[in-house]
Amino acid sequence: MMGNNVFRTLLGAGAILAGLGAAPLAAQTGSGAVPLGDAARGAGLWEQECAACHEMGRGAENGIGPHLNRIFSRRAAGLDDFVYSGSITRMGRDGLRWTYRTLDAYIENPYALVSGTRMSYAGLPDAQDRADLLGYIRQFSDMPEDIPEAEPTARRVEIDLPPEVLAIRGDREWGEYLASECLTCHQRDGAAMGIPSITHWPEDRFVAAMHAYKEGLRPHSVMQNVARRLDNEEIAALAAYFATIDD
């Protein structure tokens, strides 16, 4: 299945990476653009952080985690022969695709992007580490030249919420007031009809999930609209309320 393809891809990637002067791209994509990561350094990070669960390259197979060949532009939970969690399967159905931006967010904090993921990995907090790692992983994706350059280079830190946002202490009573809208869909006592349970979550995870909708990282359009109407204080208030809803 892999065979020559991967080697062709590797050669292609090398040529592309070599041809990518950071400066012209940064100029093209405007502010916030950073150069692609250092794939050689990324290879070391891959061994350290991911290789225990994932395989990549010629003959890669599924292990504890799915193989990650051609992960760029693959749909989330897109392999037929791997049994994924319900949570990531739902995100894939919603339309989540793996791009530089969504991979970066998932690797930074898997739970912020996919609340119930089975990938038990704490996350890679350093942005440069992630850029280097993704520079390496990208070499195993089909035809890296098909990947829009603006995507890998125009990188904003999305779910890396500023400490002041995470530090907001939610006003539980206000949260209770705001929650009446949410409870038209989300059941107080758990999941129903494909609508997941949002009660008794750690507050930081709840806040991260809401911001992931707000920033469009999570694809579900109804929830994106819900989250975009809420400001940071309101999200914190809702997190405080739902965390302790029956207490």
Q: Which residues bind ligand HEC (CB under 6 A)?
A: 49-50, 52-54, 64-66, 68, 71, 76-79, 84-85, 87-88, 90-91, 94, 98, 103, 106-107, 115-121, 124, 181-182, 184-186, 195-196, 198, 206, 209-210, 218, 220, 222-223, 226, 238
In angstroms, give the least distance from the CB of 97 to ligand HEC: 9
Nearest-approach distance from CB 8 to ligand HEC, in angstroms = 22
Q: Which is nearer to ligand HEC, 122 or 167 (CB)?
A: 122
Nearest partner of 185 among 226, 228, 218, 148, judged by Cα: 226
Whose Cβ is closer to ligand HEC: residue 26's or residue 230's? 230
Cβ neighbours around 151 below 10 Å, total: 15
Q: Which is nearer to ligand HEC, 29 or 86 (CB)?
A: 86
Question: What are the C-alpha distances in Å from 224 to residues 91, 148, 209, 213?
Answer: 13, 24, 11, 5
Residue 181's DSSP bridge partners are: none
Pairwise CA distance, residues 190 & 198, whole Å: 7
If the CB atoms of residues 10 and 191 are measured against ligand HEC, the closer one turns out to be 191
Q: Minimum distance from CB of 225 to ligand HEC (Å)? A: 9
The Cα 27–Cα 86 span in angstroms is 41
Q: Minimum CB separation from ligand HEC for residue 54, in Å?
A: 5
Which residue, 129 or 154, has its beta carbon nearer to ligand HEC?
Answer: 129
